[in-house]
Structure 1
Amino acid sequence: MERNNLYPIFLKTEQLEILIVGGGFVALEKLSFLLKSSPNSKITMVSPFFREETLREVKGLNINIIQDYYKDFYLLNKHMVIATTDNVDVNIQVYKDCKKRNILVNVADNPPYCDFYMGGIVTKGNVKIAISTNGKSPTTAKRLRQFFEDVIPENIDDLVKNLNKYRKTIKGNFEEKVEKLNEFTKSLVEK
């Protein structure tokens, strides 16, 4: 059986500089995905053209729009790049330029040229679940996201906040606190 060896992390994108190369439908999709999950993301977009929907999406937001062809100097001070053009050669050049500079890069719909994938995300207040299919099936990730959105109760955030308050009142060392919290929360997963 094949195994997913990806390591999930949650990035504070408001502290990172992100570049999206492209201005078409895929660029809009990636932009919307980022903004839905992290509305304060620091994003620059560069493309010789932008869809009207993209320009409407960024209106009033702190997103830098540059109408130009991709050039490697746009990578300056970037932490993460998403290449979304419909030109495979440009996307691969973005990938190569990023690799030279140790910048994380995702070339949309081209898994061999990705350091990371943008999976399905479920958010309920402070609870966030990321779903990955190892780049194999975004549609499956989408369906799983819809499933978890339905089954996770809306009031899960109240539980998280209450447990955080309770955690602050527990006395003892780290192991004792973990044991008490495990005992307190085991009913969440009991069948």
Structure 2
Amino acid sequence: MAKSRFPEIQGGGSLILAWQVRGKRVLVVGGGEVAAGRIYNVLNADAKVTVISPREGLNEEVAYRVEQKQVDLVDRKFEPSDLDNVDMVLTAVDDPEASTQIYKLCKERKLPANIADVPPECDFYFGSVHRDGPLQIMVSTNGNGPKLANIVRRQIATNLPDNIGAAIQKVGTLRRRLRKVAPDPDEGPKRMQWMSKVCESWPLEDLCDMNDRDMEQLLGFYQPGKVPTLDQLRLHEQPGIVGFDGAFGWW
């Protein structure tokens, strides 16, 4: 049988997505070390977090989040009514039976839930995440080996350029300004193609060094579909230098 030109289906994986929870109401049941990690992750995603835990059970980090009013604390054990008006539930308590009961209640209400350290009772997993500004890279072992995911994530991070996060921020700014220059939805494919040219032809150092004036100059080359280098853009601005056209010729 001839080998297919399409990728083989492996199965057994997860659909890894960037879940937008900004402004969503996330309930965290528990206040220990694992809960602290969950809280940190969802706060980084700008969620509104409520923690259900007796105050005496809070670890140092969770207590700090409460003190700084980064999260709301309900000082008691979980009650079913806590699931009213929430969008996501995370549990991190040392009580398997109670955790299972919470998961079942979440399923009845169709609430996405993650039950710490119980993969079969998780609608989603937390991976090991590397963060550099807007850049996020997640490594998941689909619940098989969280520690190994952390090792793999560190290995990936050590091979990334130090300035990758700053470069991505500049690209994001350029992309937003391009949408203002060419707002027509029909321009979408051309915008994507031109931004791809910029990312492929400019080194990270130049992307980081690009300022507002450089962006304004560069956007002038969008319509002809050209991408000059940063040096070419700046050379054009120097006194006594002849002009520079969109085809990279001199006039």
The reply to whether TM is greater than 0.5 is yes
Aligned to 1:86: 94
1:65 — aligned with what?
73
Q: Does the Cα contact within 8 Å between 2:31 and 2:59 map onto a contact in 1?
A: no
Q: Deviations over 1:33-75 (max 9, x none)?
A: 434x33x431111123423412134321231111212111000
* Residue identity opposite 2:79 in structure 1: K
Change (3 A) 1:120 1:177: same
Larger radius of gyration: 2
- State the distance in 1 between where 2:126 and 2:76 align: 25
Q: Which whole-Å CA distance do the structure 2 matches of 1:128 and 1:114 have between them? A: 22
Q: Does 2:151 correspond to 1:143?
A: yes
Q: Look up the match of 1:109.
A: 117
Mean Cα displacement is larger for which, 62-71 or 98-107? 62-71
* Partner Cα distance (1:86, 1:187) in 2: 52
Counterpart-to-counterpart distance in 1, 2:201 and 2:13:
30
State which drifts further: 121-130 or 153-162.
Answer: 153-162
Which runs of 4 or more aligned residues in structure 1 lie more than 6 Å from their structure 2 counterparts after TM superposition? 169-172
Which segment is superposed worse, 14-23 or 106-115? Answer: 14-23
Question: C-alpha distance in 2, partners of 1:154/1:91?
Answer: 41
Say whether the 8 Å CA contact 1:126–1:157 is kept in structure 2: yes
Query: 1:30 and 2:44 equivalent?
Result: no
Q: Paired residue for 2:199, among 181, 185, 188?
A: 185
Residue 31 (structure 1) shift? 2.1
Question: What are the Cα deviations for residues 147-188 of structure 1, in whole angstroms up to 9, with x where unaligned?
Answer: 233222232233224434554188683223333333433469
Amino acid of the structure 1 residue aligned with 2:57: F
Unaligned runs of 5+ in 2: 1-8, 203-251
- Residue pair 2:65, 2:71 contacting (<8 A) in 1 also: no
CA distance in 2, matches of 1:14, 1:181: 27
- Shift in Å, 1:80: 0.6
Amino acid at match of 2:18: F
Number of residue pairs matched?
186
TM-aligned CA distance change 1:23 to 1:164, over 3 Å: closer
Partner in structure 1 of residue 132 of structure 2: 124
Per the alignment, residue 46 of structure 1 pairs with: 52
Identity of matched residues, %: 26
Residue 76 (structure 1) shift: 0.6
142-151 vs 106-115, which moves further: 142-151
Measured in 1, the distance between the counterparts of 2:142 and 2:111 equals 20
Q: 2:189 aligns with which of 175, 179, 185?
A: 175
Distance between the aligned counterparts of 2:119 and 2:39, measured in 1? Answer: 19
Q: CA RMSD in A?
A: 2.5
**Cα distance 1:75–1:136, how it changes in 2: closer, same or farther (>3 A)?**
same
Q: Residue deviations 1:70-95, cap 9 Å, x none?
A: 11100011111011111111000110
> Which has the higher relative contact order, 1 or 2, with Cα contacts under 8 A spaced 6 or more apart?
1
TM-score normalized with structure 1 length: 0.83
